[in-house]
Every structure is written in C-alpha cells, then in structure tokens.
C-alpha cells in the first residue's frame, strides 16, 4: 500500500538559512511524487513534482527536491528561506494508474524567525 512519512512535524529556521524537509514514501512501482504548500487558511499549491528523468527537480518559489530511490526519499530543499515561506508543507505520492489518487504525508509546519 502507498504511504508517505514526513518525520518532522514542525521545523523552525531563521530567515536566510537553508531548509530541508524530509519525505519518505512506500510504493510498489515507480512513484509519482509531489510537494504541496498550504499557507494559513489557504488551499494547496503545487511546488514541484517528479515522475521520471532527472532526479533533481526544480519547482516554484526557489524550491527543489531530490528523488533518491535507494532511500525511498524525496526531500524538499531551499537554499535561503524567506519569511513568506512559513506554511505547512505536504509530500504526496500519486498512483500511476486507476483512480490516480494522491496519498499525503502528515505535513511539516515551517516557522521562519527573523
């Protein structure tokens, strides 16, 4: 069965510092992997996605993520965090066929301090 684990419930970083949010997945085939961001009171916005090809993918707002099959991981990174990045971040794995559902992790809340 598909599942996603985000080990960090809450992370606090200083503005300008680098960021890495962890995501581990369990999926029987080649996964579709996504990172979404949810700002307070808002819906989910897609940051980036991976299906195949280059294992380092670039997304919006200066985010990138690296797919590592050997570690079943898809960690999200940003070299320099801005105060506006404070939000909830969700990693998700998508089905390759059938209903194409997304299975989400429990999210990581990012706090940015001045």
CA distances from 11 to 59, 76, 113 (A): 20, 13, 11
Separation between Cα atoms, residue 86 and residue 89, nearest integer Å: 9
CB of 99 to another protein, least distance (A): 4
CB of 84 to another protein, least distance (A): 18
Cβ nearer to another protein, comparing 15 with 104? 104
Cβ nearer to another protein, comparing 30 with 80? 30
Beta-carbon neighbour count of residue 58 at 10 Å?
A: 11
- Write out the residues near another protein by the rule CB under 8 A: 32, 34, 36, 38, 42-46, 49, 51-52, 88, 90, 94-95, 98-104, 106-107
In sequence order, what DSSP letters do the residues of 101-114 get, joined into one string? -EEE---EEEEEE-
CB of 36 to another protein, least distance (A): 8
Cβ nearer to another protein, comparing 42 with 71? 42
- Residue located via tokens 């579709």: 32
């Amino acid at each position: 069965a598909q599942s996603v684990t985000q080990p960090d419930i809450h992370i606090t970083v200083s503005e300008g510092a680098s960021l890495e949010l962890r995501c581990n997945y369990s999926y029987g085939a080649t996964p579709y992997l996504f990172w979404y961001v949810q700002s307070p009171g808002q819906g989910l916005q897609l940051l980036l996605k991976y299906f195949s090809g280059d294992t380092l993918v670039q997304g919006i707002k200066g985010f990138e993520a690296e797919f590592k099959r050997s570690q079943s991981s898809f960690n999200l990174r940003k070299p320099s965090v801005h105060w506006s990045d404070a939000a909830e971040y969700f990693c998700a794995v998508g089905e390759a066929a059938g209903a194409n559902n997304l299975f989400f992790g429990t999210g990581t809340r990012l706090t940015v301090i001045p």
